[in-house]
Each structure stands twice: as structure tokens, then as C-alpha cells.
Amino acid sequence: MKRARWWPWAALALVVIVTVVALIVRSRPSTSAAARADRLEQQLACPVCEGQSVADSNSFEARSIRTEIPQFIAQGQTDAQIRAYYVARYGDRILLSPSNTGLGVIAWGLPALVLVLGGAGIVIALRRWSRTPRLTATADDEAIVASAREASHED
């Protein structure tokens, strides 16, 4: 009997552990030069295209950047140095994701803050509604129900 109660929890714990391990293994950045170049090409926006990454664009500028990135990697530059080079050259608009400083923090944090506050508001509203006392039936109400029941039994 007790085994039947803990079995679902053990299965849930196993699923959570497998998911966490898979996410950790998957999130490790590859250190190969080709993988770094691919990752950087996905992170940089095409300077002349709207909404396309350097990896997805066929413009002259994007092809030029795709050629330069492996050269920078071969010179021993870090990903941060390469991104900083392109930010200095094209401005912050070259980054497809906002930075982790200044207005970038607001761009990342504001949607999360809105979701948390919205969820908290819903929880507070539901608790208030559940605490509202229920109305009790008066003697007149009970009489109406009793007469309605008698009428339905007579038919």
C-alpha cells in the first residue's frame, strides 16, 4: 500500500533528474572553432538586413562577417572580444539579444517581472475570492425550495 503512494513521486524525481542532466549537458558550449563560429554567427545580426542573423543572410556584409569570425577565432580572440569588435563597428544593433547591462537588463528583466507580478496578482485575487463568506439561506428561501420540490414530486 505504501509503495503505491511513493511510486509516482519516484518517477517524477527520475524525470526531473534526467531533464536537468540533459539540459546541463546540452547547454555546455562547444569549444571547437567551427561551433564557436556558428554560435557567433547566430548571435550577430546582419548589419543591412532586417531581423536576420549573419548566419541566415546572404548579403555581402554578412558573408564578410562569416569570413572574419573564423579568422578572429584562429587569432585566439574570445567570443566576447569578437562581439565587442562588431559592437564597436556597427553599434548595439548588431547583437540579436540585448546585453546584460544598462537597458539590456530592463529588456530581459521587465517581461519576467511582469509575469511574476501578474501571477502574484492572480493568486491574491483567487485567495480573496475564496475567503468571501457564502450566503446562508433564509427561512423564506427554504420555503420556496420546499414548495418547488413538493410541486415537482406531485407531477
Break the chain into its structural domains and give their ranges. Answer: 2-97, 104-154
What is the topology classification, in CATH, of domain 2-97? Answer: Helicase, Ruva Protein; domain 3 (1.10.8)
pLDDT value of residue 70:
94
Q: What pLDDT, in 10s, does the model give residues 15-64?
A: 888 888 877 766 666 678 889 999 999 999 998 988 889 999 899 999 99
Who wins on pLDDT, 152 or 5? 152
Q: How confident is the model at residue 1 (pLDDT cuts 50, 70, 90)?
A: very low
Give the pLDDT band (50/70/90) at residue 72. Answer: very high
Please list the residues that pair with 44 across neighbouring strands: 95
Q: Are 71 and 122 in contact (CB under 8 A)?
A: no
- Determine the Cα–Cα distance for residues 59 and 126; give it in Å rounded to an integer: 53
- List CB contacts of 91: < 8 A, sequence separation 6 or more: none
